[in-house]
Structure 1
Amino acid sequence: MNDNYLKVARLAAAAGAKILLSYQGRFSVREKAPRDLVTEADVAAQQAIQKILLSNFPDHGFVGEEEGHDQVSAEMLADPNHPPIWIVDPLDGTVNYVHQLQSFAVSIAMYHAGELQVGIVHDPVTREIFWAQRGGGAFLNDIPIRCSTTDRLEQALLACSFSAGTQHDSSELSRFAAALDEAQSVRRLGSAALNLCYVASGRLDGYWATCVKPWDVAAGALIVSEAQGEILSLSGEKFDTWDPRFVATATKSLNDQLRRCLA
């Protein structure tokens, strides 16, 4: 793996984080969909990130929250000779950001030859930078991180994500109630990227989601894997970057228990 990929990704994430901080409290908000907010800040951050990535790697693909996802085909993803594809969420945790809750992040991943290869999640407020390269371990800033050793659901602190406009009779709420009944506790923190990083660093023991997009979780999924965690589809199959309905946990045993609980 080219170490320059990681270096440039970190520069791009830092540029995006700087823009998000500069916009705090002075941006306008519009509705992208009911209860789904988009700001001038995330558009500006994505433009800055895209410029840095593609000026360094002009032949690479780019998939961002605001554009590019309709240009990715199954054939492209399966072709080992296709150039790498960057998967970017310039502002994961938009609702938190809009309401000045200080839990949001920039997420950048690189996908190549059927696998995630690089992942960066940059928290602008805490200045925590979670990162990983395939086969190289996971890090918080430059300190190696590992998942917890929790292997019993009743001892696990979990997080989950709901879709915008979740209805009272939805399967998402049914899963939440089931997990709340069996786990130590469950949180809904508002940033999928940070949830995964918190699993990787042992702050959370598990996280599941059925309503997120690839750009929300691609970087964090690699970071969990490289921190020796377990991330699988709800049915126990390999995590699919492009269809991310998954359970991420500290240990395999915990993953098995949580998936049974959510079934």
Structure 2
Amino acid sequence: MIIDPSKVETVIAEIAEEEISSRFGALKESEVTTKSGPNDFVTAADHAAEARLEKALLGLYPGAAFIGEEAAAADPELVKRLDHERGAFWIVDPLDGTRNFVQKRDEFGTIIALVENGETRQGWIYAIPEKSFATGSLGDGVTWQGDRLSAVGAAVGTPVGYRSVGSLGQEWQETMVPALRAKTETGPARCSAYAYINLVLGKRDFALYSRVHPWDHAAGAMMLGEIGGRAAYLDDLGAYAPRLTVGRPLLAAGNVDSWEKIRSAIS
């Protein structure tokens, strides 16, 4: 089933404005807590936006299941459904870049993917401070701010990208991290929404991840494929699929030649 992309955009923009933007720079201490560690923040904005998105999205596709980041944090069994269940799922990160949001850095967004039978069919990435959407549908391309995107050029010179490698397995830590430092220029991947937007716009060449949550990657990986890029694991070269993996290196790039160039350089 294909949902009218504009209807989902309207839902996201309205909820982001009312539940997230309205709280930016105005969070009370009681509205900020942590999950897995001291820098893994969750706020009242995350919870309020997720609750409203669940109700609105299930109204658009009543037969789908819903997996939100905060619901999965409370019940990790939810995300495991993607490993073995068929059918349709809304996969939602209501506020990606929560740490930025808490620390008043204006780089945060909402990411939504519609997955059917293990395949991402549609995706929306909303850059909340810019009020701008990257929107994609499988087989129908990607738009940014309503304009259709074309292929991005291959990396020239030293590849520039993002890194999130703290969860890499030891065998990869010992070889890949030194190569990454020596042969590329990277900055930390603090917000998947902006990382994928910059990849589809050709503003960055690649991103390397080691802890891969489906709400961070399902929409963006599909969009990369639609513009001729690639998101795949370096251990077995398998294409990204919407599920949780930890320790495996996922390389994402907006151009297949760039993907191969970076893979050769760091693995």
What band does the TM-score fall into relative to the shorter chain? 0.7 to 0.9
Name the residue aligned to 1:209.
Answer: 209
Question: Aligned pairs, how many?
Answer: 252
Per-residue CA distance 1:189-210 (angstroms, 9 max, x = gap): 4111221121111111111101
Give the aligned residue type for 2:77: D
Q: How far did residue 49 of structure 1 move?
A: 0.8
Q: Aligned partners of 2:15 and 2:172: how far apart in 1? A: 35
Q: In the alignment, is residue 7 of structure 1 matched against residue 6 of structure 2? A: yes
| Structure 2 runs not aligned, ≥5 long | none
Name the residue aligned to 2:84.
Answer: 75
Q: How far did residue 157 of structure 1 move?
A: 1.5
Give TM-score scaled by structure 2 length: 0.85
Name the residue aligned to 2:123.
Answer: 119
Give the aligned residue type for 1:238: A
Contact 2:82-2:118 at 8 Å conserved across structures: no
Q: How far did residue 31 of structure 1 move?
A: 1.4
For 1:34-73, list aligned pairs within 5 A. 34=37, 35-68=39-72, 70-71=77-78, 72-73=81-82
Q: How far did residue 186 of structure 1 move?
A: 1.2
Give the aligned residue type for 1:205: D
Name the residue aligned to 1:32.
Answer: 35
Indicate how the Cα distance of structure 1 residues 48 and 111 shifts in structure 2: closer, same or farther if over 3 A, else same. same
Q: Aligned partners of 1:12 and 1:170: how far apart in 2? A: 44
Contact 2:13-2:131 at 8 Å conserved across structures: no
Question: Identity of counterpart residues, as a percentage?
Answer: 23
Name the residue aligned to 1:100.
Answer: 104
Contact 1:200-1:250 at 8 Å conserved across structures: yes
Indicate how the Cα distance of structure 1 residues 110 and 93 shifts in structure 2: closer, same or farther if over 3 A, else same. same
RMSD: 2.3
Per-residue CA distance 1:198-247 (angstroms, 9 max, x = gap): 11111111111011311111111111111211111123111122145411
Worse-matched range after superposition: 213-222 or 27-36: 27-36
| Structure 1 runs not aligned, ≥5 long | none
Contact 1:17-1:124 at 8 Å conserved across structures: yes
Q: Aligned partners of 1:258 and 1:125: how far apart in 2? A: 31
Contact 1:158-1:186 at 8 Å conserved across structures: yes
SS at match of 2:70: coil
Per-residue CA distance 1:104-133 (angstroms, 9 max, x = gap): 110000000221001000011011200100
Per-residue CA distance 1:8-32 (angstroms, 9 max, x = gap): 3212321332121011122221111
Contact 1:233-1:240 at 8 Å conserved across structures: no
Name the residue aligned to 2:16.
Answer: 17
Indicate how the Cα distance of structure 1 residues 196 and 176 shifts in structure 2: closer, same or farther if over 3 A, else same. farther
Per-residue CA distance 1:55-92 (angstroms, 9 max, x = gap): 22222100000115623153313xxxx2x100000011
Q: Aligned partners of 1:23 and 1:174: how far apart in 2? A: 42
